[in-house]
A = this chain, B = another copy of it.
Amino acid sequence: MKQVTCAIVAIGSELLEGSVLDTNSNYLAINLSKHGFTVTDVRMVIDDKNKILKTFKEQFTTHDIILTTGGIGPTFDDLTAEIFAIATERELKQNPTAYKHMADRLAQLGVAIGEGHLRQVELPVDTDLFDNKFGTALGFGTEYKGTYIASLPGVPFEMKYIFENHLIQFLIDRFKPETIHFKDLIFASLPESIIDEDIRKFELVDTTIILNAGKAQLKVKFRGKDLCEIDKYAQVLVDKYPKNFLGYDTDSIAKLVVDKCITHKYTIGFAESCTGGMVSQMITDIAGSSEIFMGSIISYSNKVKINQLKVDPTIIDTHGAVSSECANAMAIGARDVLGVDYAVSITGIAGPTGGTDDKPVGLVYIAISSNKNTVVFEERLKGDRESIRIRSTNIALFKLLEIIKSS
C-alpha cells in the first residue's frame, strides 16, 4: 500500500518575518503522522499572490494532500481563497453557508459586517466546508487533479478545532492511510552518538527510526508497519541501557508525572526559584492536574524563601540561595506549607549574569522531599538562560517521576 503524502503550507508574512512562531505546522505534522499520513513537505509563504500560487502548483503534482493555514480572514493580506480558486480553476463566489456563519457570529459579538467580511466569504465554488466553532472563517477544501487541498485558519485554536472535529476524519475516510505503529523510547543521560552506533547495526526492513536529542533526554522513535520488527529492536535498546531507560511513553514527562500521581493519589507542589514558574506551568498544562497539584511557591527573592518557605536565614547567609542546603530547606518547607506528599525545589543560576567561578551559570540544585526523606541533586548545565530553565524543569520532573515510581 502506498504512502499518503501531505504538504503543509503556512501562509503569512508575519511567519517569515519571525513575528509569529508557526506552531500550526507542528500540530498538523504530529496529528497527520499519528493517523498514518506522511508529511513530506512543510513550507512558509509570504502573503504574496504569485508566491502562494507557485507553491500550490508545485505541491499539486507531488502530494496527495495539501493543507494550508492562514490567510482566510477578512483583512487585506488574506489571499488564500483567491489563490486557491485560481490554482484549482474554480470561480470565486459568495458562499451562502459561509455568509450565514460569519453574519451570525458577528451579530453575537455586536460587530457590523464590513467589506472585509464580505470578501472573506467569497469562496471557491464546489468546495467542502468545515465548521469553525471559534471564528468567522470556515475551513474549505476540494480535490483538484488527484490532490485534496484544504485551507484552515491561522489562529491556532480555530485551526485545531476544525482539524480535530471535522477535517481529520474526512481525510481518513477519503484516503484510508495504512495503520502505522509507533513506539517511542525515552532515555536519560545517554549521548546520542552512543545509541547511534547500536542503531546503525540494526537490519531494519519496514521500520524507520528517528533520533531526537532533547533537553536532558533522548527519544528514539520507531515507526513502521511491522510491530514485531519494532518490538524486537526496541527491546534491544531497552535491554542494553536499563538504567538510562525511562519509559515507552509518547507523553510528555509532565503528563507522566500527573498520571502517576493520580494513580497513587499523591499530591505534589513546587518551590521554584530559577525556573520561575515553569515547572508548575508544565504540570498545569495537563488537564486534570488540579486533582494532584496543590500549588507552588515561586521564591525568587530570599525574603520569600524565608517568609513563605520557612528557610532558615542562616542557611542563605552561610551557603547562599543557590546551594544544596537551601534547596533541601526549600523542599522541606514547601512540603510543609503546601501540605503535599511530594515537594520539589529548584534553585540555580539561569544567567546570563549572576554566575561566579565558584557558582557558575548553569549550576542548579533540585531537592525532592517526601515523608521518607529529602534528596538533593546537583546539576551543572550548559546553555543560555532559556535552555537552562527548560533543562532544570525537565530534570526536576524526571527525578520526581523516578522517585514516585520507586515508592
Contacts and interface: CB of A to CB of B under 8 A. Distances in A.
Interface of A: 13-23, 25-33, 39-44, 46, 51, 73-77, 111, 114-117, 134, 155-157, 160-161, 184, 191-194, 196-197, 199-200, 208, 210-214, 219, 221, 223, 269-270, 272, 274-281, 283-285, 287-290, 293-301, 303-304, 307-308, 337-339, 351-354, 382-387, 389
A393 to B, nearest CB: 9
Contacts of A278: 277, 281, 284
Contact of A76 (B199, B279, B285): B199
A295 B284 contact: no
A386 B383 CA distance: 27
A42 B75 CA distance: 23
Contacts of A304: 269, 294-295, 338-339
B339 A303 contact: yes
Contact of A284 (B16, B211, B276, B387): B276
B43 A16 contact: no
Given A40-B51, A157-B386, A277-B279, 4 more contacts: A18-B31, A76-B199, A304-B339, A308-B308
Nearest to A391: B157
A340 B77 CA distance: 45
Contact of A19 (B30, B43, B354): B30
Contacts of A383: 134, 157
A285 B19 contact: no
Mostly, the A contact residues are mixed
A303 B387 CA distance: 33
Contacts of A297: 295-298, 308
Given A29-B16, A277-B281, A43 B46 contact: no
18 contacts: A15-B26, A17-B223, A18-B27, A19-B30, A19-B210, A73-B193, A114-B196, A134-B383, A157-B384, A157-B387, A275-B284, A277-B298, A278-B284, A285-B386, A290-B301, A293-B300, A295-B298, A295-B308
